[in-house]
Chains A and B, each alone.
Chain A
């Protein structure tokens, strides 16, 4: 009987997890952002359910806006009994998410991350695609991508390497 209840809870748990992830990822586009928001959410819920003596983590306006944008039905998935289990499952599911690592030559803020994430999701038709944005100044312009462990360079440096012979030939015309 307990086993059946457990399976039932597990099944419903998967559904809840999907809904929670779907809601969070709706406005979260990078892996760093996701980890931060999960921590914020957990802190907020634990504070709500159990109270805490430690001061709450200071949030920026965007995160505050995001937190307030979450619908009330979203919070109804959590209660004192399941909050730890849900967050444990969420944290363990992070490794299974599809993450596109993108190397850029410029620093990005949350706004640019959002814009970039939106375009990427639309381009690849993957609504829950997460970006792991990293900085690489050697690329000059453009970007390079890593997907499922495979690296592909779409940057200007790659194009220069590809047309190295032609470029050198052009230089040699001037030199000789």
Chain B
């Protein structure tokens, strides 16, 4: 029985084979790309040349057709300008109408506002006048009441003063009446009462003092 090679060597050998295969595959792909690029580059150069030729042809054609286009453009421009002017005139006219309408509306609103303001002001003034009238009336009533009250108090005070004075005078008169009476009695009785009468009055007084037990 033949001896089997070492597995490590087998694996390493397999890996090396795979790596070589991959290298060749990669080399083939790069080479193919390089050829494709070269081919594309040539095609591009050919197409660029064709384009340049076409452009030169177009340029020449354009130069020949330039004057006609300019004239056409001018006509078209004129036509469009007229249209634009017409449109602008119409637009301006409309705008003017709208402005006039707006101004009229504004004027009307202003008049309305003025009327409303005038009415409001009149109403406010009337209200103010009514309030003023009411307050003035209240004030006058209060003033009248206060004045009446003050006058009544003053009258009351004066009446009291007069009453006090009257009472004082009456008291004074009363005192004077009594004083006059006493003086008259003193003068009259001193002459009219006899000594016996005087003594009798004294004896009466002593008897009264006894009854009242003034002297015990």
**Interface residue tally for chain B (C-beta within 8 Å):** 27
Q: Mark A99-130, 1 if CB is under 8 A from B, else 0.
A: 01010111000001001100110011010000
- Cβ contact within 8 Å between A106 and B177: no
Name the CB-closest residue of A to B208: A154
Most chain A beta-carbon contacts within 10 A, residue among B181, B202, B209: B202
- Cβ contact within 8 Å between A140 and B182: yes
**Complex: A37 Cα to B206 Cα, angstroms:** 26
Mostly helix, strand, loop or mixed at chain B's interface? helix
Partner among B185, B203, B210 whose Cβ is within 8 Å of the Cβ of A140 = B185
Partner among B182, B199, B204 whose Cβ is within 8 Å of the Cβ of A115 = B199
> Which of B1-9, B98-106, B135-143, B189-197 interfaces with chain A?
B189-197
Instruction: Indicate if B214 sits at the interface (CB-CB under 8 A).
Output: yes
- Cβ contact within 8 Å between A140 and B186: yes
A-chain residues with CB within 8 Å of residue B125 when the two chains form the complex: none
| Closest beta carbon of chain B to A142's beta carbon, Å | 5
**Interface residue tally for chain A (C-beta within 8 Å):** 32
Interface residues of A (CB under 8 A from B): 100, 102, 104-106, 112, 115-116, 119-120, 123-124, 126, 137-138, 140-143, 145, 147, 150, 152, 154-157, 160, 164, 167-168, 171
B-chain residues with CB within 8 Å of residue A167 when the two chains form the complex: 177-178, 181
| Closest beta carbon of chain A to B206's beta carbon, Å | 5
- Cβ contact within 8 Å between B205 and A155: yes
B-chain residues with CB within 8 Å of residue A147 when the two chains form the complex: 214-215
- Cβ contact within 8 Å between B189 and A152: no
**Complex: A156 Cα to B209 Cα, angstroms:** 15
Partner among B182, B190, B209 whose Cβ is within 8 Å of the Cβ of A154 = B209
**Complex: A157 Cα to B204 Cα, angstroms:** 15
**Complex: A104 Cα to B31 Cα, angstroms:** 183
